Amino acid sequence: MSTTISPTRQKWEGRWDQLVGKAKKLWGDVTDDDVMKAKGDYEELLGQIKTRTGKTREEIEKALDL
């Protein structure tokens, strides 16, 4: 089975600190605990942001691409 990686995920792979910083700047509700739970996993971080903000995956990825 082929796994499709979104352009946003490719953009942020290897740049975890920048991704986290941007997420925390965009959504002040994202906490250090959320980041620790994600443990460097992009998908998990998206889940944490979705839980905190109620935004959809598409909204989150669009905002991170800005």
Say if 6 falls within a structural domain.
Answer: no
How many angstroms separate the CA atoms of 42 and 32, rounded? Answer: 15
**Residues 22-34: tens digit of each pLDDT:** 999 999 989 999 9
Say if 56 falls within a structural domain.
Answer: yes
How many angstroms separate the CA atoms of 23 and 4, rounded? Answer: 23
Ramachandran quadrant class, 14 (left: phi over 0; alpha: psi -120 to 50; beta: rest):
left
Mean pLDDT of the chain: 86
Say if 43 falls within a structural domain.
Answer: yes
Say if 9 falls within a structural domain.
Answer: no
**pLDDT of amino acid 4:** 67
Are 36 and 30 in contact by the 8 Å Cβ rule? The answer is: no
Say if 41 falls within a structural domain.
Answer: yes
**Residue-number span of the structural domain to which 22 is assigned:** 16-65
Report how many domains make up the chain. Answer: 1
**pLDDT of amino acid 3:** 61
Average pLDDT over residues 6-28: 83
Q: Give the tokens for residue 10.
A: 């490719």
Q: How confident is the model at residue 66 (pLDDT cuts 50, 70, 90)?
A: very low
Instruction: State whether residue 28 is helix, strand or coil.
Output: coil
Say if 2 falls within a structural domain.
Answer: no
Say if 49 falls within a structural domain.
Answer: yes
**pLDDT of amino acid 14:** 73
Say if 11 falls within a structural domain.
Answer: no
